[in-house]
């Protein structure tokens, strides 16, 4: 600035450019993960509702929400436009409750922007977890054959039946 060094060309010592400063970012989070029941029978259809929220200062046009279901797999959906300052969106996922001979607890973890595609002010609050119970498979008994002999009035009647269990759960 003070030209203390003698140069061949004193007119090329500065440069300017324009930049855009982004002062605000979205902050995506999952505010709730709920199911329509606390416990399910094995093989029931489970409905999970996930509410996504943008608590940041910039609107997001859409974001992926992934639901990880222990023992079952992963489902993904896209939530549309989440306005800045509290915009929310609700997604519904369904899956079949796993079948097991013992009761089990299924963990549900919903994550918005699971691959960190959207730059956020806080990348550490994108998940929420809930659990649900799944009852053990119950025995399913069915009568497949019956016979009765000597069914005359006043006589002792002998009845026999063949009963089958249609599941793998043993009958106590």
Q: pLDDT tens digit string along 55-92?
A: 999 999 999 999 999 999 999 999 999 999 999 999 99
User: Each residue of 89-103: pLDDT tens digit?
Assistant: 999 999 999 988 788
Residue 169 has pLDDT above 90, yes or no: no
The 3-class SS string of 33-44 reads EEECCCEECCCC
Position 163 confidence tier, pLDDT thresholds 50, 70, 90? confident
Interstrand relation of 60-69 and 127-134 (parallel, antiparallel or unpaired): unpaired
Tens of pLDDT, residue by residue over 109-162, are: 999 999 999 999 999 999 999 999 998 877 788 888 888 877 778 888 888 888
**Which residues have a Cβ under 8 Å from the Cβ of 160 and sit 6 or more positions away?**
146, 147, 148
Average pLDDT of the chain, as a whole number: 90
Q: What is the pLDDT of residues 11-70, one digit of tens each?
A: 787 788 887 666 699 999 999 999 999 899 988 999 999 999 999 999 999 999 999 999
pLDDT at 19: 73
CA atoms within 13 A on the CB side of 46: 28
- Which residues are CB-contacts of 105 (< 8 A; sequence separation ≥ 6)? 131, 132, 133, 134
């Amino acid at each position: 600035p003070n030209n203390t060094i003698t140069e061949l060309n004193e007119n090329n010592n500065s440069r300017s450019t324009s930049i855009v400063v982004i002062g605000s970012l979205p902050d995506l989070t999952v505010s709730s993960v709920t199911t329509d029941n606390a416990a399910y029978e094995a093989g029931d259809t489970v409905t999970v509702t996930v509410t996504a929220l943008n608590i940041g200062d910039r609107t997001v046009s859409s974001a992926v929400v992934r639901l990880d279901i222990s023992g079952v797999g992963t489902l993904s959906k896209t939530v549309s436009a989440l306005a800045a300052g509290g915009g929310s969106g609700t997604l519904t996922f369904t899956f079949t409750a796993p079948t097991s001979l013992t009761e089990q607890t299924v963990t549900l973890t919903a994550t918005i922007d699971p691959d960190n595609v959207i730059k956020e002010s806080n990348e550490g609050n994108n998940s929420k977890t809930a659990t649900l119970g799944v009852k053990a498979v119950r025995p399913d008994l069915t009568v497949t054959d019956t016979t009765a002999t000597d069914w005359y009035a006043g006589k002792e009647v002998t009845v026999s039946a063949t009963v089958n269990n249609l599941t793998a759960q043993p009958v106590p």
